[in-house]
Amino acid sequence: MSEATSALHEDSRSFAPSPEFTAQANAGDLSIYDKAAADPEAFWAGYAEQLDWFQKWTKVLDWDAPHAKWFVDGKLNVSYNCVDRHAKGERADKVAMIFEGEPGDVRKITYAELYDEVNRLANALKSLGVTKGDRVSIYLPMIPELPISLLACTRIGAIHSVVFGGFSVESLRDRVNDCGAKLIITSDGGWRRGNVVALKKTADEAAVDCPNVEKMVVVKRIGAEKAPVTMEAGRDFWYDELLAAAEPVCEPEWMDSEDPLFVLYTSGSTGKPKGIQHTTGGYLTGVYTTSKLIFDLKDNDIFWCTADVGWVTGHSYIVYGPLANGATMVVYEGSPDTPARDRFWRVIEKHKVTVFYTAPTAIRTFMKWGDALPNSCDLSTIRLMGTVGEPINPEAWLWYNDVIGKGKAPICDTWWQTETGHIMIAPLPGLVATKPGSATRPFPGITADVVNDHGDPVPVGTKGYLVVNKPWPGMLRTLWQDDARYKQVYWSRFPGRYLTGDGAVKDADGYFWLMGRIDDIMLVAGHNISTMELESALVEHPAVAEAAVIGKAHDVKGQSPVAFVIVREGYHADDALATELKKFVGKKLGPVCRPDDILFTADLPKTRSGKIMRRLLRDIAEGRVLGDTTTLADPNIVASLKDKYTSDEG
Ligand code: ATP
Ligand code: MG
């Protein structure tokens, strides 16, 4: 990457924490950063000690780059830490999970009830032949049985691999086969926009080509009338029947700190999904600590992370982080616009959500839908908000702050990856002043940097590669059965340092500004321009709801920026607007940044976790055959965009 500066942060406002928040912050005071930097291993070990270990570790870290072992020789069980220690103590009758189904059904599960169900399912899995080290694929909607299945696997030492409940036969089959699962947990279906998603049917079709799969456990979510299923004798078992027959107590397996906990495939926005492998002790310590300090979880909080458990945010901040803290978390099954576009705000109002964690893509959608919907709901319980998944453009940040947080809830923009296991860069609420669009500074104990092609730190305001300098507890240990790819992808570019694949800039205050994927940075007439900067500029225009920018190959300039734009309700997508937008961007960021083409669209191709798939937009703009589309939320969008692009061009 040749050096180029970024204008993004220059006129940024800063939001100081309120003294009231500071006074009660779990993170204490700013000295936490210096203490952690002076001795990161002691910092992490201090939090690991707050977990329950059957046998204590002999050494905190064993680092033989690029392989780390955390809490060496320590023995623990994740379900024990997330369930037993609360269920057997003062939190037995505390609600662990508030589930709301899309049709409006609500189920509240206490820690004592969670204990019972996790234990029974663990015994049921054992009775079906699952033992320590076996892989179990989980293909479920967002229902209580999803977190429960994860916990039951951890109880017996089975390695879970969750596959998002909206994925196709092909995506499911590939993931099941890649990890060699012998059992699939699925359901007759789930609700999505008032329709039944027939998961068992998809699982049946996938299983035809999954030679390792011996058994299937089926949760009854919908019922035979709307979701008839075929149960294959000897292979398929009803979840509720298994639980009713199971022994109520299953002793937790003593897992080594470095035993694998789960394999999860990345969202595939940059290429073929990678099987990220996480282990037990370090991961749990990382998600426990970050949940406690960043989401500031207190016993009376109601925490709602809107992600799906099908991706890492759901693993770390719906299931393991909050439960390890004994928190109450919300699980919502359906879409944000069913029955109406105020559904999320209604969920917050009804369950009195205090900490809310969502994604920029959702925030931009809510902005597009207008302020009246959130304004008509009582959101006064919200005291803290988070965002994750993509860089958040300042415009969306400010809207989130004003309309949802009413200016009183600090915003934690959290940068991390499936690979990192837990949040890596984010403000500690109450301690760190925030700036719209910046994830602020690395979490205590994490050393990140922005470097040039030679691995040297770049000057303030200059774009470079985001790297992590030292191992951290929740880091991936390898890629499932592909250590060579692990070394090559993450550790070969700058030996000893983890390559995140993202570009970033540091400002004069040491704040990190994420610039998106390195692959998404364009080289236009010799200038490095991040697609994210152009997108942020476009979204500042009142007519633009959302934008995706890519660099299209260009004979003279190398690459030329092309923008795909979704127009806000009430605006007209026509040539005049396209011209105006080109000028608008040129004026804001300089003439080289002016997009050459603007294509109006109703939708953008996104992964199931809501990330824009720029590589597919590049394929479209450059007239190539589309790459892997299996992780797309709606494959029809790319097909129609391709048609539209070709007809506009020709
Ligand atoms: P693949 O690696 O297969 O392309 P993916 O990277 O989209 O998939 P995830 O691990 O879910 O899959 O996403 C992590 C990426 O999301 C980060 O590398 C970064 O690009 C982006 N990201 C996540 N949170 C933030 C954030 N707060 N600010 C900026 N970017 C973010
Ligand atoms: Mg990635």
Task: Specify if 548 maps to a domain.
Answer: yes
How many CB atoms sit inside 10 A of residue 576's CB? 9
First to last CA, the chain: 34
Report d(CA 355, CA 18) in Å as an integer.
16
Task: Specify if 560 maps to a domain.
Answer: yes
Report d(CA 117, CA 304) in Å as an integer.
22
Report d(CA 497, CA 493) in Å as an integer.
8
How many CB atoms sit inside 10 A of residue 143's CB? 22
Distance 271 CA to ligand 2 centre (A): 9
Distance 215 CA to ligand 1 centre (A): 34
**For the CA of 312, the nearest atom of ligand 1:** 11
Q: Is the CB of 115 under 6 A from ligand 1?
A: no
Contact, 160 vs 154, CB < 8 A? yes
Task: Specify if 633 maps to a domain.
Answer: yes
Q: What is the arithmetic mean of pLDDT over 170-179?
A: 93
Distance 603 CA to ligand 2 centre (A): 22
Number of folded domains that form the chain: 1
* pLDDT grade for 306, boundaries at 50, 70 and 90: very high
From residue 125, give the alpha-carbon distance in Å to each of 186, 234, 451.
13, 14, 48
Task: Specify if 451 maps to a domain.
Answer: no
Of 3-7, 111-115, 497-501, the range with the lowest mean pLDDT is 3-7
What pLDDT score does 5 carry?
63
* pLDDT grade for 648, boundaries at 50, 70 and 90: low
- Beta strands 190-192 and 195-197 are antiparallel
Q: Residue 267: nearest ligand to its CA?
A: 1
Contact, 197 vs 166, CB < 8 A? yes
Distance 126 CA to ligand 2 centre (A): 34
Distance 58 CA to ligand 1 centre (A): 34
Residue 228: pLDDT over 70: yes
Q: Is the CB of 415 under 6 A from ligand 1?
A: yes
Q: Which of 392, 416, 479 to mutate to test the pocket of ligand 1 (most atoms within 8 A of CB)?
A: 416
Distance 466 CA to ligand 1 centre (A): 12
Distance 272 CA to ligand 2 centre (A): 10
**For the CA of 268, the nearest atom of ligand 1:** 3
C-alpha closest to that of 147 among 183, 172, 121: 121
Q: What is the mean pLDDT of the chain?
A: 94
Q: What is the pLDDT of residues 554-572, one digit of tens each?
A: 988 889 999 999 999 889 9
Q: Is the CB of 311 under 6 A from ligand 1?
A: yes
* pLDDT grade for 376, boundaries at 50, 70 and 90: very high
What pLDDT score does 650 carry?
44
The CATH number given to whatever domain includes residue 612 is: 3.30.300.30
**Pairwise pLDDT comparison (642 vs 125), residue with the higher score:** 125
Contact, 14 vs 510, CB < 8 A? no
Position of tokens 């204490």?
A: 28
Q: Is the CB of 418 under 6 A from ligand 1?
A: yes
Task: Specify if 228 maps to a domain.
Answer: no
Task: Specify if 73 maps to a domain.
Answer: no
Task: Specify if 639 maps to a domain.
Answer: yes
**For the CA of 269, the nearest atom of ligand 1:** 4
What is the pTM assigned to this prediction? 0.94
Laid out side by side, the sheet with 302-305 consists of 106-110, 95-100, 328-332, 302-305, 355-358, 384-387, 411-413
Contacts of 452 (CB under 8 A, 6+ apart): 1, 3, 458, 462, 464, 465
Share of residues in the chain with pLDDT > 90 (%): 83
Task: Specify if 532 maps to a domain.
Answer: yes
Q: Which of 317, 390, 450 to mutate to test the pocket of ligand 1 (most atoms within 8 A of CB)?
A: 390
Q: What is the pLDDT of residues 457-498, one digit of tens each?
A: 999 999 999 999 999 999 999 999 999 999 999 999 999 999
Q: Which domain holds residue 536?
A: 525-649
Q: Residue 315: nearest ligand to its CA?
A: 1
Report d(CA 62, CA 41) in Å as an integer.
11
What pLDDT score does 519 carry?
84
Residue 10: pLDDT over 90: no
